[in-house]
Amino acid sequence: MDWSDFPARTWKAATPLYRIHREGREPAWFNATGEMRFDPPAAHGDDFRTCYTATSAIAAYVEVLGRFRALVPAHVIEGRRLAVLSCRKNLRLADLTDPSILGRYGVDGSISMSSRDDYDEPQQVAGELWSAGFNGIFFRVRHDPSMKLEGVALFNKPGETRTMFRAPRSARIPSDLIEEGRSVYGIEVERTMRSSWSLM
């Protein structure tokens, strides 16, 4: 199977990507622990690492905080930041939303939807796509019931992660984003946190 022919889309340089990250950690964190969906599989050792971003701020918010379902503890919001990342060059992304991958590669929507206990296939696919020269993966955000929000998992070699982006910007999660999460997706934040919005 020739993974280099996998359907692709181009992400233009300087087009922003968004990421919710823990305070005190790098805004552009690349993971290789095997604990996340498109991390490198064991066979790839330390060949590459993966950074999980989204195409919009609300997509990043839902992807990270949607796992809490109805109520997000105040300390979780207070301990997170919203980063805006801008790549230095155009990226070639493998498109997991292209319908032709079902018949051509045997890949269906479950690759973006599976639970944490079933990451073997997504990680194997990530390894194949890395080997085929892709810069990352374009996929649907798991926690969005409408399946419209989009995520981007970026690949990079160890030691080169800092050179991929222009200076990242990171700040507290804005109140309007928290409100959008509440009004559109029903993601409530503990009242102790919500009561402080009026003071901002």
Angle between helices 57-65 and 175-185 (to 10 degrees): 70
The domain locations on the chain are: 3-199
The model's confidence at residue 200, banded by pLDDT at 50, 70 and 90, is very low
Answer yes or no: is pLDDT of 98 > 50: yes
**Does an H or E element contain 188, and which?**
strand 188-189
**Cβ proximity of 51 and 154 under 8 Å:** yes
Say which CATH class 3-199 falls into.
alpha beta
Mean pLDDT of the 5-29 span: 94
172 vs 162, more confident: 172
Give the CA angle between residues 196, 199, 200 to the nearest 5°.
100
Answer yes or no: is pLDDT of 94 > 90: yes
| pLDDT given at position 161 | 65
